[in-house]
């Protein structure tokens, strides 16, 4: 359970939840998981530690909640061109830069905390993989790509490369990178 629920008392103030999650995200960006403390989150959010413990069991669960809160997926692009749809998917991933940066702050902790790894995958990997997969499956259905293509495998290529580039290599995911991956890897894999 990433979030505690309460059936007695007055309803929780949603603005406090938002402040705590944003403070957690900001501190993950600035300090990473290991240096971030619940005290620093509470101070940044302008709340007491008790407000955090009423909502989350511990630091790991709070961070899982903060990472999950980042997952926002745009609608599946449908421009009429497979290349343009793939570029739109890739640009949507790039525009989730805050998510990528927060996840970079979790890299070492993800090895020790499977729930953080699963949350990170759910927030960034799976939604964008599904976005690519929908575009690729549509291309297969319309004959723009052969039905022998493994849509699931190809859909994982861009998110994996971009995440590795941003977190492990510390390099930007710029337009040049997006176009190179789409034109040099994805489109050839779909032909």
Same fold across 14-68 and 82-189 = no
Tell me the domain boundaries of the chain.
14-68, 82-189
pTM beyond cutoff 0.75:
no
Residue-wise pLDDT tens for the chain (191 aa)? 445 545 555 567 889 999 999 999 999 888 888 899 999 999 999 999 999 999 999 898 898 888 877 767 789 999 999 999 999 999 888 777 667 677 777 777 877 888 888 877 777 678 889 999 999 999 999 999 999 999 999 999 998 898 788 777 777 788 899 999 999 999 999 98
Measure the CA–CA gap between 24 and 22, rounded to whole angstroms: 5
Place of tokens 């749809």: 85
The CATH code for residues 82-189 is 1.10.357.10
Measure the CA–CA gap between 163 and 104, rounded to whole angstroms: 9
Question: Do 178 and 157 form a contact (C-beta atoms < 8 A)?
Answer: no
- CATH 1.10.10.60 is the classification of domain 14-68: yes
Phi-psi bin for 170: left (phi > 0), alpha (psi -120 to 50), beta? left
Question: Do 119 and 66 form a contact (C-beta atoms < 8 A)?
Answer: no
């Amino acid at each position: 359970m990433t979030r505690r629920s309460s059936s007695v008392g007055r309803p929780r103030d949603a603005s406090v939840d938002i402040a705590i999650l944003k403070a957690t995200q900001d501190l993950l960006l600035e300090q990473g998981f290991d240096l971030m403390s619940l005290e620093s989150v509470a101070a940044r959010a302008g709340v007491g530690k008790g407000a955090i413990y009423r909502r989350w069991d511990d630091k790991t669960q709070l961070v899982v909640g903060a990472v999950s809160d980042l997952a926002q997926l745009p609608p599946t692009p449908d421009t009429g061109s497979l290349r343009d749809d793939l570029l739109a998917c890739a640009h949507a991933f790039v525009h989730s830069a805050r998510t990528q940066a927060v996840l970079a702050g979790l890299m070492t902790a993800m090895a020790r905390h499977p729930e953080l790894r699963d949350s990170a995958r759910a927030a960034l990997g799976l939604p964008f993989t599904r976005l690519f997969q929908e575009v690729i499956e549509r291309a297969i259905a319309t004959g723009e790509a052969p039905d022998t293509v493994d849509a699931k495998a190809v859909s994982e290529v861009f998110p994996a490369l971009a995440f590795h580039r941003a977190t492990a290599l510390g390099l930007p995911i710029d337009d040049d990178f997006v176009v190179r991956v789409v034109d040099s890897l994805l489109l050839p894999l779909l032909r």
